[in-house]
Amino acid sequence: MRKFQLTTNQKFDGVVSRDYRQEKNAGIPLALVDDTDDSDTEMRLPRNHLPGAQRGDLSKRTTPPRIRAKAVTFSPTGRAWGAVSSEGLVIYSLDDTWLFDPFDLDTTITPNNVQKVLAEREYLKALIMAFRLNMPPLIAQVYEAVPPAEVPLLAHDFPEMYLDRMFTFIAGHSDQNPHVEFHLKWVSHLMKHHLPYIKRNLTLLQPVLRNLQKSVVRMHRDLAKLCNDNTYTIRYMLSLGTANTASANVTKPVEEPADREMVVDSA
């Protein structure tokens, strides 16, 4: 048997952040043991206690509530299962690639509709629908289908409420995609057209911008190393070709023209 934690809310019974075994007496929590006498009952009574009640308001809860799981259902593949608890729906999965976490979703937002909108070349609408579904493979497909010439216009009309999601996606997708110029073009135009909004919400966007900066610095470092290696290699090949050409000119004998020899014989 294996236990799964349904909540981290410490208001529920049994959810603790440290070991309370030393605070128990014969398996009973000491907090539930009444070790006082009746002499100081009046001193312990709160001011708003009920008349005639010796222990205060009996309607108040003295023990923490307990969390319960009403139902458990497994996925058809057997790699995920969900539980309906008093805290809400809890889903556990063995696949950590991506989870379905929609944002501002309605019944018209489906993967098939995203594909239809993308086929009609409505790139901004398809990109927003993919972000609302929050499916990384679908977002990557729509993102890579955008023509580079359309990036400035799409960045100008891009909704500001999705900027953090767009920056987060670019920062993560640049590690798996070699289109460096395409990523930098998106970032530069988004920064250019939405700079006032970014300044106003800098506190909220600061973690996202920090990850984006790390991604850009990493791309710059990789490209700088590659360009430097290629530059040195090209310089070496050019110098080697120049040296070979100079040595060939020195060792090659000078031939006299045939017309000059005929003129000397006739003389």
pLDDT single digits (tens) 218-260: 888 877 877 887 887 888 888 887 777 777 666 555 555 555 5
Position 198 pLDDT exceeds 60: yes
| 225 and 186 part of one domain | yes
| Tally of structural domains, the chain | 3
- 13 within a domain of the structure (yes/no): no
| 140 and 155 part of one domain | no
Residue 259: predicted pLDDT: 53
Helix, strand counts (H, E) of the chain = 10, 5
- 250 within a domain of the structure (yes/no): no
Most confident of 4-8, 10-14, 49-53, 129-133: 129-133
- 198 within a domain of the structure (yes/no): yes
Q: How far apart are CA 262 and CA 266, in angstroms?
A: 6
Position 33 pLDDT exceeds 80: no
| 163 and 221 part of one domain | yes
| 113 and 134 part of one domain | yes
Q: How far apart are CA 254 and CA 267, in angstroms?
A: 23
Q: Which residues contact 70 (CB under 8 A, 6 or more apart)?
A: 84, 85, 86
Residue 34: predicted pLDDT: 56
| 179 and 206 part of one domain | yes
- 29 within a domain of the structure (yes/no): no
| 219 and 203 part of one domain | yes
| 129 and 180 part of one domain | no
Q: Which residues contact 111 (CB under 8 A, 6 or more apart)?
A: 133, 135, 138
The pLDDT > 70 percentage for the chain reads 67
- Strand 28-29 to 69-74 pairing: unpaired
- 52 within a domain of the structure (yes/no): no
| 82 and 118 part of one domain | no
Residue 257: predicted pLDDT: 54
Residue 188: predicted pLDDT: 92
pLDDT single digits (tens) 48-85: 555 665 555 556 656 667 778 888 888 877 788 888 88
| 131 and 80 part of one domain | no
Position 182 pLDDT exceeds 60: yes
pLDDT single digits (tens) 88-105: 788 887 765 555 556 666
**Better pLDDT: 30 or 177:** 177
Residue 251: predicted pLDDT: 57
Position 44 pLDDT exceeds 60: no
pLDDT single digits (tens) 126-162: 999 999 888 888 999 999 999 999 999 999 999 888 8
| 153 and 223 part of one domain | yes
Cα 82 to chain centroid, rounded: 24
Token couple for 171: 């920062």
| 75 and 109 part of one domain | no
Please provide the average confidence, as pLDDT, over all residues in the chain: 76
Q: How far apart are CA 138 and CA 229, in angstroms?
A: 36
| 85 and 159 part of one domain | no
Residue 264: predicted pLDDT: 46
Torsion region of 210: left, alpha or beta (phi above 0 gives left; psi -120 to 50 gives alpha): alpha
- 32 within a domain of the structure (yes/no): no
Residue 266: predicted pLDDT: 47
Bridge partners (DSSP) listed for residue 83:
72, 90
- 125 within a domain of the structure (yes/no): yes
- 169 within a domain of the structure (yes/no): yes
State which residues form the domain around 110: 101-146
155 phi/psi in degrees, rounded to 5: -65, -30
